[in-house]
Structure 1
Amino acid sequence: MKMNPWTLSVLLLLAGPLGADPGWHVEYPDSFCVVEGSTATIPCSFTHPAGLRVERVVWCPNHKFCSGTTPNVYDSSNVRADSRFLYLGDRVRNCTLKIIKTVKQDAATYRFRFETNGNKYNKYTGRKGVRVNVTNGEVVKVRSSVTDNVVKEGGQVTLTCTSACSFHQLDVHWYRNGHVLSETGPALHLSYLTNDDAGDYTCSLDSSWQKTSAPWSLVVVEDEEKSGWRVTVSVVSVLLAVILLLAGLVFAKRRHAQKKASEVIQKQEVDRKQEAVGASDEVSYATVHFKPSSSRSAPGPEHETVYSEVVR
């Protein structure tokens, strides 16, 4: 049976590349919803037979083939500046697409198409597509893995940003007491809690705070066992300090007494030396002044005679 070229082209597009090679494939989720004003990421991957090189990739809304002049949101051969649709993939296996600050008009079924080198039939579109729903009335909430807001010090808690819309692949920002946290994503894991972790936690679906949850308050309390242990340690520390202080006083008093005794001994030694010096001086003096003279002789007759003559 003969078939005109136009009919053959349509069948090839519907069936994929010539021969329906299973190596041609595009994988993405069936659908998910996005809160208006938030940023969403459509995960996507693709494969093709070995030996081919991808030359063009295209994302388009609401079209089964993304072929020809079909309106698209991304075309690697004609990249538009300042587009809210950011291609995060490559030309090897990754075809992920990011939608920034979604609007109502972004609700659509998106499909990915890639074209390779070789003949004109070496191209493929993931016809299943992924349905993106955009909603705007959901209340964003913070849910906790614990039953109440009180957690013991050293414990852990997981906070989840929830809404009627799934947050799969959504950009979620977290805040504590109004200050932005470095963690992002639908879940916030807090472990080894301290009093510094206490406060009001909120989540937002965009950095403008247009879709922000009500605050969820976390209270961190001391563990009684750890608190009792700290009290015991404190008491022991105080007792040790008192013992060290008393020992220091006793040691200082003993040193003072030893110093006084040493001073007394030194003074007594000096006194003994001074007494010894004085006694030596007295002995020398007596020897000099009271020693009898061996050259003295008795008066002779001549002296007596002269004396008698003078008396007359």
Structure 2
Amino acid sequence: MVPGGEKVSWSFMFLLAGAAAQTIRYRFGSTCAVRGSTVILPCCFTPLKSFSPGGREIPLRIVRVLWCKNHEICQGTTPSVYDSNSTAREPRFHYLGNMEANCTLQIRDVKMEDQGTFRFRMEADNSAGHFTNRTGVNISVADVIKMEIKSSSNKSEVSRGQTVSLQCTTSTCTFTHLEVTWRKDGHALPGNGSALRLGPLTAKDSGNYSCALTRNMETQSEPFSLQVEEEEEEEEEEESNLPLAAAVTFGVLLVVTTLILFIFIFKRKQTAAGSPNIMGGETEMKTDHIYSSVLPPLPQETGSQKQEVEAEEISYASVQFKQSKLDRKAGEESDPTIYSSVASRG
């Protein structure tokens, strides 16, 4: 009897060691949800890899996973909200895990009857690997509640270029909503997450934002006003630049006008200097006239030829000018005509 008793004792110890080696962990022990929302129960597990009855190691493999409500061990005929071996599954309960380590459960369109404690159970190909965490996760459901918007910024007025995150939540409980409808100035925005990220901000992002659970529009929040200071900054910048722009424009026009006027006056002076004086419709030429008689040097001659040359040494030229029709005043300058006689002697 003793040897048999020792065998049973060793087997029991191996089972205890196996039970101690396998674990199921819930991220939190309780949470809350609003009717019509979506809630996630994060979960992870570590299955027993093997057991050794009679000193012989036998590997284990998980073949079934379950989630049940308000039952301590989810065993036997206990109703389950999810059973991997069953094809008749409630569509609102979606298993996000696997058969190895992840046991997360998602509950969509939460109803009032979903309030209670949910537990996870794993089953192996040998009963030595079956395990349920009896702690579970307690869910409380709120029927009618207004959502709230919390901003990552401490103020509703933000600067251009910033990034702001708006979170749709409640004041009574903290949970993750996956199906949220966002609106801006009454118009629906794309996306259905519980967080709305805006940025880099421009003036177009200014407006009143609201959120509500997609399946329960009674939860719509009060409007959250977001104002981007871009327009005011641009107006102030434009106003401050107006005097400078006007001064620069005036200076350029003044320089161009002065340059054009200077060129015009300079050309007028050049034209006046090169043109004859016009008086009384007739042209008066003020040109100095020089008349000369130049005789080339003569070869030396003798006798009568020399006397003839000497007689012809002086030659006079007379020029008469017709008086201008204009009456000239007395004391006018004398005729600048110069008479000259040049004689060249041998």
Q: Same fold (TM over 0.5)?
A: yes
User: Residue 174 of structure 2 corresponds to which residue in structure 1?
Assistant: 167
What amino acid maps onto 1:91 in structure 2? M
State the match for 1:23 in structure 2: 21
Following superposition, the deviation at residue 113 of structure 1 comes to: 1.0
Residue 67 of structure 2 corresponds to: 59
Contact 2:82/2:89 (<8 A) preserved: no
1:91 corresponds to = 99
Q: Which has the higher helix share?
A: 1
8 Å contact kept, 2:81–2:89: no
Is the Cα–Cα contact under 8 Å of residues 181 and 213 in structure 2 kept in the other structure? yes
Secondary structure, counterpart of 1:121 in structure 2: helix
Report deviation, 1:64: 1.1
Greater mean deviation of Cα atoms: 167-176 or 107-116 = 167-176
Task: Return the offset for 1:153.
Answer: 3.3
**3-state secondary structure, aligned to 1:218:** strand
Q: Distance in 2 between matches of 1:34 and 1:198?
A: 31
Structure 1 match to 2:109: 101
Q: What is residue 36 of structure 2 aligned with on the other side?
A: 37
Matches within 5 A, 1:212-251: 212-222=220-230, 228-233=236-241
Secondary structure, in 3 states, of the residue corresponding to 1:73? Answer: strand
Please state whether the residue corresponding to 2:79 is helix, strand or coil: coil
State the one-letter code of the partner of 1:129: G
2:158 counterpart of 1:151: yes
Letter in 2 for 1:200: N
Residue of structure 2 equivalent to 1:206? 214
- Bigger radius of gyration: 2
Do the aligned partners of 2:18 and 2:129 also contact (CA within 8 Å) in 1?
A: no
Residue number in structure 2 paired with 1:277? none
Shift in Å, 1:174 = 2.5
Structure-1 separation of matches of 2:213 and 2:91: 20
Q: How many residues align?
A: 254
Identity of aligned residues (%): 35
The equivalent residue for 1:280 is none
Report the alpha carbon displacement of residue 145 of structure 1 after superposing the two structures with TM: 5.2
Unaligned runs of 5+ in 2: 3-7, 50-58, 272-346
2-structure distance, mates of 1:84, 1:95? 16
Residue 134 (structure 1) aligns with: 141
The separation in 2 between residues aligned to 1:22 and 1:72, in whole angstroms, is 25
Deviations 1:264-299 (A, max 9, x none): 9xxxxxxxxxxxxxxxxxxxxxxxxxxxxxxxxxxx
Letter in structure 2 aligned against 1:160: Q
Q: 1:44 is aligned with what amino acid?
A: C
Using CA pairs below 8 Å that are at least 6 residues apart, which structure has the higher relative contact order? 1
